[in-house]
Chains A and B, each alone.
Chain A
Amino acid sequence: MSSRRDFMGMALGGFSALGGLAALYAMKRSWDPLPSVKAAGFTTVDLSGAQENVLNVEKWRGKPIFVLKKSADMPSDDRDVVVGQDRYLVAIGLCTHLGCIPAYLPNDKIFHCACHGGEFDASGRQIFGPPPSPLVIPPFKIDGTQLVLGEEGPEYIKMKEAGVTA
């Protein structure tokens, strides 16, 4: 600190920087998703009417959720959601490349994404094109023949620990 003027300069600069940082924080928070958006909670899906190899699309947090009852000839996978005797694919229906919705082709038993040509099998695993990972499994809880999306049930936690949800 060589002079009073330097001190004044540093003090002004310091307080301005502090105020600037505070303002940046406020701006960042203003861009955050609103609490009402975040609270958009849970979706319950009834599985009792599901048919084999017919894709059901549900909506959860604005995203499409694929629910596919697997037929006997589809190989079982540790990503399967087992409800009673039935195996299901439950996944967020957004391509893991850039988020388009893949279409289900029941004859080929694959999902095909029209945006960049990515493909997934009936277990949601990527089999062709740019997708780097399988379709993401959303948090779920099995409740009888119902599925509660957004809540982490024991089956989901087990899958998550095994690292197969994404």
Chain B
Amino acid sequence: MAHFDENAKPFSNQWLNERLAIDTVKRVLSTEYWIPKNINFLWAMGMILAATFGLLIVSGIFLLMYYKPDVNLAFDSVNHTIMGEVGFGWLWRHIHGVAASVVFLIIYIHMLTGIYYSSYKRGRELIWISGMLLFVTFSAEAFSGYMLPWGQMSYWAGMVITNLFEGGSLHLTGLVEWIRGDYVPGDAYLVRFFMLHVFLLPLVIIGLIVFHFASLRLPHVNNQEGEEIDFEEAAKLYKEGKKKESKVIPFSPVFLSKDIFVMGAYFVLFFFLVFYNFDFAMDPVNFDPADGLKTPPHIYPEWYFLWSYEILRPFPKDPGLIAFLIAQVIFFLLPFIDRSPNVAPAHKRGLFVIWFWVLVVDMIALTVLGKLPPQGIYTDLGKVAAAIFLLMWPILFIITKLEKKL
């Protein structure tokens, strides 16, 4: 049996160490978790995402106290009770709405940073895959939350998205009705998506975040040059007091203080949006109660889903669905499609840098086109942009196969 000192003061450092090994935990997770020095502000996005998720939980808890998951009560519980009666109810709703939108902006920056610096390769594949699982779960979380105010956009987004499960010509009407618990989105539908939004999906997200962090611990974070650092040697220098010569800093408190600085700048912008410009996250059409007999004249998803929606839209039904399906899963395969041996920033990888910026521009183009009405020239441009997106992946395979080892 382990040794327990009878004279140790309850809750003293020694007492806790004997029971929880807190010094070891602290060392492994923070004071001797080494972060390269050669990074920039883009490496702070992970902690910004964690903090934003924290804000979503806190604001969500307060919304949960007054929200009523019932087709007859949901709309008013949000738009009258929470917005009009509950003290500072508007604050929680606007934090929740703005954070749900901004979190995707940060996720995209986080992803593109990973792609630019080849941070999905050589030992970091599981970080990328768990990150993609987080992206998918966050998307489901955003969609289920969008149902809850039970406005026109909630209802019709629910109708369109659940219809995707019909699988085009497969006509899986039974599956769609099973998901809804009804022929059309109704009470059973609203309550089950409420359950998913406030319990099951957040639980999955928390589990995935733990896994995402765990998959990062051994390979360590990448750096601006993709340099393979000898962490043991660098750590030894740092601990010897040669902090200048060492290539690393400890996660806490050194890296964290940089993170908190970037977070501070981010939260200034974030709360500026919450207090003065929350409208962008509040679709005006969703302030009309859900009506199953009236489609709004123009249906579009929130901005962060527009690019993949636009891959679905310009094609006939079955090819559109297949293209959409590919768009949903293709990023998972990135570490395996990229055949290059190099872990380096895109600007040192020849053609890859062009590939990267074409991808960024194409996704922005898809996003813009997804918001425009599906008419005339926009449909054609949408087809071109969607085709480019699909072609990007075989092209990536070829250009990375040809890439010379640096």
Question: Which residues of chain A have a CB within 8 Å of any CB of chain B?
Answer: 28, 31-34, 37, 40, 57, 59, 61-64, 96-103, 113-117, 129-132
Q: What are the residues of chain B within 8 A of A96 when measuring CB–CB?
A: 317
Interface string of B139-167 (1 = CB under 8 A from A): 00000000000000000100110011000
Interface string of B316-338 (1 = CB under 8 A from A): 11101000000000000000000
Docked Cα-Cα span, A33 to B178, in Å, equals 6
Q: What are the residues of chain A within 8 A of B159 when measuring CB–CB?
A: 98-100
Q: List 28 A-B pairs, Cβ < 8 Å.
A: A31-B178, A32-B178, A32-B181, A33-B182, A34-B188, A37-B183, A37-B186, A57-B293, A59-B292, A62-B186, A63-B292, A97-B317, A100-B156, A100-B159, A100-B160, A101-B294, A102-B295, A103-B295, A103-B297, A114-B295, A114-B298, A116-B374, A117-B374, A117-B379, A129-B374, A130-B315, A130-B320, A131-B317
Is A37's CB under 8 angstroms from B181's CB? yes
Docked Cα-Cα span, A63 to B184, in Å, equals 7
B94 to chain A, nearest CB (A): 29
Is A115's CB under 8 angstroms from B295's CB? yes
Docked Cα-Cα span, A99 to B183, in Å, equals 12
Docked Cα-Cα span, A157 to B296, in Å, equals 34
Q: Which among B183, B296, B375 has the highest number of chain A CB atoms within 10 Å?
A: B183
Cβ of B70 under 8 Å from chain A? no
A66 to chain B, nearest CB (A): 11
Cβ of B243 under 8 Å from chain A? no
Docked Cα-Cα span, A113 to B159, in Å, equals 14
A114 to chain B, nearest CB (A): 5
Question: Which residues of chain B have a CB within 8 Å of any CB of chain A?
Answer: 156, 159-160, 163-164, 168-169, 177-184, 186, 188, 192, 292-299, 313, 315-318, 320, 373-375, 379
A21 to chain B, nearest CB (A): 18
Is A31's CB under 8 angstroms from B294's CB? no
Closest to B162 in A: A99
A63 to chain B, nearest CB (A): 6
Q: What are the residues of chain A within 8 A of B315 when measuring CB–CB?
A: 130
Docked Cα-Cα span, A33 to B180, in Å, equals 8
A151 to chain B, nearest CB (A): 16
A4 to chain B, nearest CB (A): 32
Docked Cα-Cα span, A33 to B320, in Å, equals 29
Docked Cα-Cα span, A154 to B182, in Å, equals 28
Closest to B187 in A: A37
Is A34's CB under 8 angstroms from B181's CB? yes
A160 to chain B, nearest CB (A): 15
Is B293's CB under 8 angstroms from A59's CB? yes
Indicate whether A130 sits within 8 Å of B293 (C-beta atoms), given known contacts A32-B181, A34-B188, A114-B299: no
Docked Cα-Cα span, A40 to B184, in Å, equals 12
Query: Looking at chain A's contact residues, is the secondary structure mostly helix, strand, loop, or mixed?
Result: loop
Q: What are the residues of chain A within 8 A of B177 when measuring CB–CB?
A: 33
B150 to chain A, nearest CB (A): 14
Closest to A97 in B: B317
Q: What are the residues of chain B within 8 A of A57 when measuring CB–CB?
A: 293
B195 to chain A, nearest CB (A): 11
Closest to B298 in A: A114
Indicate whether A31 sits within 8 Å of B181 (C-beta atoms), given known contacts A99-B159, A116-B313: yes
Docked Cα-Cα span, A13 to B235, in Å, equals 47
Indicate whether A132 sits within 8 Å of B317 (C-beta atoms), given known contacts A62-B182, A115-B299: yes
Indicate whether A33 sits within 8 Å of B295 (C-beta atoms), given known contacts A98-B163, A100-B160: no
Docked Cα-Cα span, A63 to B181, in Å, equals 15
Is A64's CB under 8 angstroms from B297's CB? no
A64 to chain B, nearest CB (A): 5
Closest to A29 in B: B178
Q: What are the residues of chain A within 8 A of B320 when measuring CB–CB?
A: 130
B155 to chain A, nearest CB (A): 11
Docked Cα-Cα span, A40 to B159, in Å, equals 19
Top-9 shortest CB links A-B: A62-B184, A117-B374, A101-B295, A132-B317, A99-B163, A61-B183, A100-B295, A98-B160, A98-B163
B199 to chain A, nearest CB (A): 15
Docked Cα-Cα span, A134 to B178, in Å, equals 24
B173 to chain A, nearest CB (A): 10
A60 to chain B, nearest CB (A): 9
A81 to chain B, nearest CB (A): 21
**Other-chain contact of A64, B186, B292, B317 (Cβ < 8 Å):** B292
Is A101's CB under 8 angstroms from B293's CB? yes
Q: What are the residues of chain A within 8 A of B299 when measuring CB–CB?
A: 100, 114-115
Is B178's CB under 8 angstroms from A132's CB? no
Docked Cα-Cα span, A166 to B179, in Å, equals 22
Closest to A58 in B: B293
Q: What are the residues of chain A within 8 A of B160 when measuring CB–CB?
A: 98-100, 115
B362 to chain A, nearest CB (A): 20
Q: What are the residues of chain B within 8 A of A62 when measuring CB–CB?
A: 182-184, 186, 292
